[in-house]
Structure 1
Amino acid sequence: MLFSKRNQAPLHAGLAVLLCATALSPFAAAHAAAPRPTVAVAAQVPDAAAVLAVLKRANKAQIDAMRAEPIPLTTGGAVREISSNWVAATYYIGAARLARVTGDVETLKFLTEAAEHYNYGLRGARSGKAMLNADEWAIGDLYQELYARRGQEGVIMPLRQRLDWSLPHLRRQPVPEHLVWWWSDALFMAPPVLSRMGAMTGEKKYFDAMDTQWWRTFARLYDPDESLYFRDERFIERRDENGRKIFWSRGNGWVMGGMARLLESLPADYINRPRYLAIFRAMSARVAGLQRTDGLWAASLMQPERFPEAETSGSAFFVYALAWGINHGVLDRATYLPVVVKGWNALERQVLPNGMIGAVQKTGDQPVTTAPTDIGPYGTGAFLLAGLEVMNLGKPETTLPLADPKSDPATLVSASTPTPALPRTVRGPEETQRHATEMKAVAALAYDPMVEGPGLAPAQVPPAAPGQPTPPKMIYRLAPPPAGQEKPRATVRYAPERYDDILWENDRTAHRIYGPALEQYEPPSTSGIDAWGKSVRYPFMTRQLRTGDQHAYHGEGIDYYNVKTYRGAGGLGVWDGGKLWVSRNWKDYKILKDGPDVASFKVSYAPWKVGEKREVWESRTFTLPMGTNFTRLVSTFGSNAKGPLTVALGISKKPTAATAGDLKADKAKGVFSFWDVTDPDKGTMGVALLIDPRQIVDVVETDSDWLVLVKVTPGKPFVYYMGAAWDKGLDFHSRADWEAYVFAQKPDFNPGK
């Protein structure tokens, strides 16, 4: 007879067969004949809008409750703060997915407050056991969600470090006596976080560690005769007064919810994926058959008469998992839809007058009696997950695995980011300004591991190769890029860490435009286009920004072109009454293609005044292929008044010096080539515009810009090209080289291409 290592309890014969099996097919076959629940009558899918209204109300009520009476920390003290462990993290998981649907700023701000309160870290630093405690890992899903939406490396770094530390323990051989995930709840808390990290990073080690530990827990806690999990090994031999096994509703809900979540990110070809699906289907059939006539499930699944009262936390997880199975083609719709609808209707009947879901069993490890007014954040989280899947029952099935949410627009990131309080020493505008000045000094003077880290020495400028220019002076040289990142490619990136800049570059040139956050930091910031010098073929702008001093040369390029509030390298405005009227920074953006052959994105600009009565607005698409110095721009204006506009396409006259550079203009050909004043160390920037000569009205000069005036019809797109080069880069080392290249271009001004 086989025995458990923990307590020497005999294992079921069926389980022994599963543990000894080496192929997947016998495992799947063992569950293929699992009994299906009886189909009652055709169920009507709940109205999605009505369900969403209930979820939004429950979510707001939960946030209000947590703000009014935060959860006490379990650290032995009396401090009361937002919790990071499973109690609140389960709510964060549901709320984060609700925010995908609603885009609600207040929910995202609350979730970000919680994440930032803990510096995106995990509790449990006091011991090895605590560091492996799955209850403390559940909040990792929130950090992953915020990272997916914002792309900020610091958001995910502490979680990844903890997971990397844990991997050897999760996969330890030989199998240790004690389980890491020794209780069923853990299968909701930790495995989905590991699986999602694997999907985010593309590193199989996270999937493998999760898979190893999942099946070790399965071998100890799963009862193949009942297709249910014991809460932990203490319950394997326990029986009630009638000799029945004790299977906790919420304990099995944790498992089914955890499987649904990990299957969303587990690769379709992962070797053990069929095993998860087989167990999920077997548990679904068993759970559906245990549903009570009122639509809920008893706190103890085998003892409905002993726990006749409503209990919603386990029931919500079951509704979530079963609806999820229908929506992703894992479960048969005709069989399980009546179960889900009946369960959801029963859950809605337990919503309290304040919007919270009631009848939530208190924290614990086994079935207990629950009052109708008992509440808990984890119950709200399960309710939100269930409702979101119920909302999708009327939609087509979604194929697994799922992609992470797309990046948020900068406006949403800015609106949902809490503003930290100033240090208590800061008093008044003078001290606030002093603090801001000091932060600039930190950026300029403090040690930076990206630049001065181990193995980096003060840069020695190598002698220029024959025919090549001498590079600018360097203090420190950037370390070589990681393997795989040194390949040339076109790329575009939204950079929230740099006040919402949008950066785009290819193998020859690099540019950026400014976003909403910079308007607050450096008013009055406007919509000119920046140009950077570049001396490498691979992308360098992000690396350059991370030095904290992008205006200095670190071996790959330099940002010394100064746009100020001018038009820079091809920015535009509207010319009216002898005056240039310009927008503020971009309002919304969308990345259309991030390489490797083309970088393309679209931005829109909020309405701005032109003269006394007219308002205009604009959308513009930027496209930069590989192998060219020219970005193609397609602009479309809107207006509150009829009639054409005179749009001014500009080149700054003094981007790097107090005196103006030189413009060579050929109005008949629509070619305008600028060569700047030479900086003795940093060299010279060249800028050019290619404009459809049929549209050109005039060329005018202001104190700050040369402006090419073109006639534009609102609602009708028009095309122009903007390009830039640096004489210390790789392609052009003189004005003659640059102008020969510019005048040889053959632009396509058809906006439909």
Structure 2
Amino acid sequence: MVLPTRPCVGLLAALFSAAPLPGPVLAQTVGALPPGVEGEWLTARDRPALYTDIAAVPSRQSTMAAVEYVASSQIAAMASEPLALSTGSNLTQMSSNWVAATFYVGASRLARISDDRRTLRFLSAVADHYNYSLRGARSGKTMLNADDIAIGDLYEELYARRGQEGVLMPLRQRLDWQVPYLARADDTPALVWWWADALYMAPPVFARMTALTGDPKYLNAADKEWKRTAARLWVEDEKLFLRDERFKDDGHRQANGDRIYWSRANGWVMGGLARWLEALPADFASRGFYIDLFEKMAGRIAGLQQEDGLWRASLLNPSAYPEAETSGSVFYVYALAWGVNHGLLDRDIYLPHVLKGWAALNRHILPNGLVGAAQKTGDQPVSTAPQDVGLYVSGTYILAGLEVAALNDPIRSLPLAEPARDAAEVIAATTPVPPAPVTVVGPEEIRRRDAEMRATSALSYDPADLNRPSTIAPLAPPPEDQRRPRAVARFAPDRLDDLLWENDRVAHRIYGPALEVREAPSGSGVDVWAKRVRYPFMDRQLKFPNYHVDRGEGLDYYDVGRGRGAGGLGVWYDNKLWTSRNFSTYDIQKTGGDEARFSVTYRPWPVDVVRTVSEVRTFSLPLGSNFTRMTSTLSSNISAPLIVGIGISKRSNDNGRGFVTRDADHGRLMFWEPDNPEHGSLGIALSVDPATIEGFAEDADNYLILIRVTPGQPFTYYMGSAWDRGLDFSSRQSWEDFVAGQSFEFRPIPQEVD
């Protein structure tokens, strides 16, 4: 291998670790490699025997030798090239674009199991060179471009192995920006993922982000757009995908007038399905849709394999481009072997296709170690030359080889677990140290530089000192003995005097005196938490600095604001709602078993200038119920009856103002919130004694149900909630049907003594 003759511009100022440097930083020397390039990368492994017998599964050893050879050859080729400032159309360099990213996908998987740490060092240096960022910042369209998301898989892999938050932050910010567009409620003429290749580039990155963070919004959003793309591009009769919608019209046909089904486009889809299903939770609602699609495509693709073991660029018209073509074929070998290894495809049926294809791919490995006969970048079949190569081919060859090697092993279940965290020694050994400046020459400068770096490490503040949980980590389940369903209530001085209560179905809180001092004008509205586990989760969720992020078990995304939230009350007088501030005192009477019960007091508050009112309220939430029973006693300096307004905060967004149901005959006020693209919809229901109803009203912040109350006499009402991404209700209709079937007792229940 000839060394490069000019510097790799801007190449690879690799990660500066927060840990102390392991030793002196060596100075640059004249005639050394360009900064950041390691000499080991520039030499490929020795070429192994590449012939395989299609009558038998090749050994793991021989298969891995071929995989390591191609991987090292591709790294050597990439590292030997100068790196251009603009990487958008780079085809052979260490770019951040999709071409290079598809190599990183395969190389990352190899680095999980390889004893050779050079691959992971190379990947680490590339990721650090790009500061873990993505292309596409110039416009909204490019911010949504799936191709520019593909490199996110590399960042996710490095985060999974190292747990360094900054590695994932730029990617997560981009995905957060994309989620509302992917999760839009209505179909649009234009798709976000409008071409088949996109299904390889972006969806697996979204699925892994959910696996890494616990937040299902990424997976749910990607699922919506995936299905939109399939609805437009999947042709059920052919069991194949069109590359994009242009290939439906007469101007994009084969010479014989038939539709064009491009091999690599369908390869992207099959490979993307495999990677998507690896991260898809076993209980994900749409999982069957994707497995069915994968199995249909596999059956069709297997039947289109040619005698030489490859697939032609035009799947249904192989004679149009009769030459060998590997860039589609390599995906099919990968996907079919993957399907066998994970029990989705019958081994007896599909193994011969895999072995025939693997042998064919190996016949096209060029003397330089790269896979030849690869169609160039494009959007449809074209002629291919034997010497043509592509990073997407070498990357997917690695994936295919790993699956061929795994044919020697038992079937693996899905989803796959993320890789375990690396030991500190492994991280140190696979993280390139930034080269010293060229001015560091001679022993004295080396000593000075070494002392400077040690001081930098010693004097820098370490956020880990606060022992706060990661902003990215999913919510870890509690110990097994803490996972039993129970109803709990807790006063939380650690959260500014919140009072929390939850059971196996719902979770709520109200705000206490410390928050009243800190965040005026906080008030007596009732907060709703979205919950999808049967055991208590609020305490563990609140330990995160931002508990408004879903980490797998639920979150608080409901904004009480100045409103009543879900069931706060006030006195309705002169067409205005007069409300208390935060609760003043509390008494928890029952927690940890089949009921959470507590009472609170609210200090007197004015009703205009005509009277003053105070309140004592008892809350009771039994196990198995979506409804909290509230019994309130209002005291007043005037004995005249009160009109009390019990409210639900208004909500609106781009998806509308939600749905309000007012039912005086049954004493109900219900509100189904407009869909939140990231988190779904909450439903709130209030139930009061119909005999006390005075009507309905609303103000700027609330929908209100009005009841007649006598000061000093207790009255009871119920507040219930539901979440369409929780465990019990998937729609407004299912929630409202449930509410309609409930019966409520409004007579005061004597206070129990525990």
What range describes the TM-score normalised by the shorter chain of this pair? 0.5 to 0.7
Following superposition of structure 1 onto structure 2, how do residues 256-335 of structure 1 map, counting pairs within 5 Å? 256-335=270-349
Following superposition of structure 1 onto structure 2, how do residues 213-224 of structure 1 map, counting pairs within 5 Å? 213-224=225-236
Return the offset for 1:219.
1.0
CA distance in 2, matches of 1:355, 1:80: 14
Q: What corresponds to 1:420 in structure 2?
A: 434
CA distance in 1, matches of 2:72, 2:93: 18
> Is this contact kept in 2: 1:313–1:383, CA < 8 A?
no
Return the offset for 1:409.
2.4
Q: What corresponds to 2:166 in structure 1?
A: 154
Change (3 A) 1:320 1:439: same
Q: What corresponds to 1:432 in structure 2?
A: 449
State percent identity of aligned pairs: 55
* Aligned residue type for 2:456: M
Following superposition of structure 1 onto structure 2, how do residues 169-188 of structure 1 map, counting pairs within 5 Å? 169-188=181-200
Q: What corresponds to 2:424 in structure 1?
A: 410
Q: Please, which of 190, 200, 204 is the counterpart of residue 192 of structure 1?
A: 204
Q: Please, which of 346, 349, 370 is the counterpart of residue 356 of structure 1?
A: 370
Return the offset for 1:42.
9.3
CA distance in 2, matches of 1:484, 1:311: 43
CA distance in 1, matches of 2:281, 2:242: 28
Change (3 A) 1:293 1:443: same
Q: CA offsets, 1:288-320, max 9 Å, x none?
A: 111101110001111211111111110000010
Q: CA offsets, 1:220-244, max 9 Å, x none?
A: 1111111111111111122212122
* Aligned residue type for 1:183: W
CA distance in 2, matches of 1:256, 1:126: 31
Change (3 A) 1:245 1:413: same
Q: CA offsets, 1:560-602, max 9 Å, x none?
A: xxxxxxxxxxxxxxxxxxxxxxxxxxxxxxxxxxxxxxxxxxx
Change (3 A) 1:485 1:214: closer
Return the offset for 1:173.
2.3
Following superposition of structure 1 onto structure 2, how do residues 484-499 of structure 1 map, counting pairs within 5 Å? none
Q: What corresponds to 2:383 in structure 1?
A: 369
> Is this contact kept in 2: 1:45–1:341, CA < 8 A?
yes
Q: What corresponds to 1:82 in structure 2?
A: 94
Return the offset for 1:438.
5.6
CA distance in 2, matches of 1:354, 1:49: 21
CA distance in 2, matches of 1:155, 1:127: 24
| Larger deviation, residues 82-91 vs 44-53 | 44-53
Q: CA offsets, 1:331-371, max 9 Å, x none?
A: 11111111111111111111112221111111111111111
CA distance in 2, matches of 1:240, 1:538: 59
> Is this contact kept in 1: 2:87–2:95, CA < 8 A?
no
- Name the SS for the 1:370 alignment partner: coil
Following superposition of structure 1 onto structure 2, how do residues 471-486 of structure 1 map, counting pairs within 5 Å? none
Return the offset for 1:150.
1.2
Change (3 A) 1:70 1:48: farther
CA distance in 1, matches of 2:171, 2:344: 30
> Is this contact kept in 2: 1:350–1:359, CA < 8 A?
yes
Q: CA offsets, 1:427-461, max 9 Å, x none?
A: 613541563366258525xxx8899xxxxxxxxxx
CA distance in 1, matches of 2:458, 2:83: 40
* Aligned residue type for 1:349: R
Q: What corresponds to 1:593 in structure 2?
A: none
- Name the SS for the 1:313 alignment partner: coil
Change (3 A) 1:208 1:342: same
* Aligned residue type for 1:334: D
TM-score, length-normalised on structure 1?
0.53
CA distance in 1, matches of 2:280, 2:120: 26
Q: How many residues align?
A: 429
CA distance in 2, matches of 1:90, 1:78: 13
CA distance in 2, matches of 1:383, 1:80: 16
Change (3 A) 1:303 1:77: closer
Structure 1: any 5+ residue segments left out of the alignment?
Answer: 1-40, 452-476, 491-536, 544-753
CA distance in 2, matches of 1:48, 1:402: 20
* Aligned residue type for 1:439: T
Q: What corresponds to 1:687 in structure 2?
A: none
> Is this contact kept in 1: 2:213–2:474, CA < 8 A?
no
Q: What corresponds to 2:108 in structure 1?
A: 96
Q: CA offsets, 1:17-42, max 9 Å, x none?
A: xxxxxxxxxxxxxxxxxxxxxxxx99
**Greater relative contact order (CA < 8 Å, ≥ 6 in sequence):** 2
> Is this contact kept in 1: 2:91–2:391, CA < 8 A?
no
CA distance in 2, matches of 1:203, 1:165: 14
Is structure 2 residue 154 aligned with structure 1 residue 137?
no
Return the offset for 1:153.
1.3
Is structure 2 residue 355 aligned with structure 1 residue 341?
yes
Return the offset for 1:72.
4.4
TM-score, length-normalised on structure 2?
0.53
Is structure 2 residue 223 aligned with structure 1 residue 205?
no
> Is this contact kept in 1: 2:73–2:370, CA < 8 A?
yes
* Aligned residue type for 2:56: Q
* Aligned residue type for 1:435: E
> Is this contact kept in 2: 1:254–1:317, CA < 8 A?
yes
Q: What corresponds to 1:167 in structure 2?
A: 179
Change (3 A) 1:442 1:488: farther
- Name the SS for the 2:219 alignment partner: helix
Change (3 A) 1:257 1:78: closer
CA distance in 2, matches of 1:311, 1:79: 18
> Is this contact kept in 2: 1:96–1:142, CA < 8 A?
yes
CA distance in 1, matches of 2:395, 2:90: 26
Q: CA offsets, 1:136-169, max 9 Å, x none?
A: 1111111111111111111111111111111101
* Aligned residue type for 1:296: L
> Is this contact kept in 1: 2:70–2:369, CA < 8 A?
yes
Following superposition of structure 1 onto structure 2, how do residues 565-584 of structure 1 map, counting pairs within 5 Å? none
Change (3 A) 1:235 1:142: same
* Aligned residue type for 2:403: E
Q: What corresponds to 2:45 in structure 1?
A: none
- Name the SS for the 1:213 alignment partner: helix
CA distance in 1, matches of 2:242, 2:154: 28
Q: What corresponds to 1:517 in structure 2?
A: none
CA distance in 2, matches of 1:247, 1:96: 30
Return the offset for 1:47.
2.1
Return the offset for 1:177.
2.0
Return the offset for 1:378.
0.9
CA distance in 2, matches of 1:437, 1:341: 54
Q: What corresponds to 1:233 in structure 2?
A: 245
Change (3 A) 1:70 1:179: farther
Q: CA offsets, 1:660-696, max 9 Å, x none?
A: xxxxxxxxxxxxxxxxxxxxxxxxxxxxxxxxxxxxx
Return the offset for 1:103.
3.3
- Name the SS for the 2:407 alignment partner: helix
Return the offset for 1:480.
10
* Aligned residue type for 2:275: R
> Is this contact kept in 2: 1:73–1:80, CA < 8 A?
no
* Aligned residue type for 2:271: G
- Name the SS for the 2:319 alignment partner: coil
Change (3 A) 1:484 1:284: closer
